[in-house]
Amino acid sequence: MLFPVRLDDAVVDTDAAWTASIRRQRHIGDFTKWKDHDSYQEAFDRLLKDLKAEAERADTATGRAD
């Protein structure tokens, strides 16, 4: 499982086909303001929420329970 994160705007500024595909199919965690505590915490909380949701979907799909 991969969760893309961005530290700069390269994935937004490029015309490369693979980046367009990722932008359409996935939420890309925005860590561009990682030096700002509140912005970092917001991006980290979103990433953690998405990771937990993905783990729950995987457990449901495989029939595993906690």
Structural domains of the chain, count: 1
3-state secondary structure of 5: strand
pLDDT for residue 65: 61
Task: Give the pair of three-digit tokens for residue 23.
Answer: 């932008």
Report d(CA 5, CA 21) in Å as an integer: 15
CA atoms within 13 A on the CB side of 62: 9
Q: Can you give the residue range of the structural domain that contains 34?
A: 5-62
Residue bearing the bigger pLDDT, 2 or 39: 39
Q: Model's pTM, two decimal places?
A: 0.68
Average pLDDT over residues 3-15: 90
pLDDT in tens, 17-60: 988 888 888 888 999 999 999 999 999 999 999 889 988 888 88
Task: Give the pair of three-digit tokens for residue 60.
Answer: 């449901």
Report d(CA 37, CA 17) in Å as an integer: 33
Given a cut of 60, whether residue 66 has pLDDT beyond it is: no
Cβ atoms of residues 37 and 55 within 8 Å: no
